Amino acid sequence: MPNNDPFVLAGREYRSRLIVGRGKYRSFEETRAATEAAGAEIITVAVRRVNITDPGRENLLDQVPPDRFTILPNTAGCHTVEEVVRVARLAREAGVGNLVKVEVIGDEKTLFPDVAATIEASRILVGEGFVVLPYVTDDPVACRRLEDLGCAAVMPLAAPIGSGLGIRNPYNLRIIIEQSRVPVIVDAGVGTASDAARAMELGCDAVLMNTAIAGARDPIAMAEAMRLGVEAGRLSFLAGRIPRRLHASASSPIEGMLD
């Protein structure tokens, strides 16, 4: 990737545009290996599911140390505004900083977010000095409202969490990208490296994923594939694709051809 194209999130620069999750790996060691293969510098962890607060038990921070990685606590498993706020405060008290990914589940079957609750929880947490990254549907209006509240990024889904369906609505994502003044991070639904590349080619600033890597037959190899997909997609976006044409266009110029 070009050295002059950093990913800037909340004023901090990162080389990698791939954010990975902690869940569903067989061990902390595999988590660490996959994270390194992905080249990720930000790793998101579910505060309610992973120990980051009790030094007396096996602690994720021993395998993914905060001096090497930015820890992004998330509120996965929360269903109300009150739960989200409580979990975010707990993460901050654990010493991992003010960064938080806000998730408020609105439907158990699809795991789609509760947009109204997401907006309200984000409003409260921004007011308390948190750097908020909200997981939300691919709704341009909701994303604009979250940005206006002061969120540091917006994280629209590509498809339901863990579905691997890839980007279902690229047109909404394009609208969100065009209107946003903060980073747009595709979150949820990526299944393979081509999905990650497509998200980046659309102009997204980063991609967050967990199941697509952790659930692969070879998570370490998939992590590397996802890294390459993100890098290729970003480079393709910067390079600028040729316009689509209905008819053929000669690859070689015809001027100066021999008669």
What tokens were used for 4? 């002059």
Give how far the C-alpha of residue 154 lies from the chain's centroid of Cα atoms, to the nearest Å: 9
What tokens were used for 141? 């209006």
**Distance from C-alpha of 49 to C-alpha of 44, rounded to nearest angstrom:** 12
In the residue annotation, 109 being an active-site residue is answered as no
Contacts of 101 (CB under 8 A, 6+ apart): 44, 72, 73, 74, 75, 133, 134, 135, 155
Query: Which of 17, 92, 101, 234 is flagged as catalytic?
Result: 101
Residue with tokens 């969120």: 151
What tokens were used for 194? 């081509």
Residue environment code for 131-148, b if the CB has 16+ CB neighbours within 10 A, otherwise e: bbbbbbbbbbebbbbbbe
Mind telling me the catalytic residues? 101
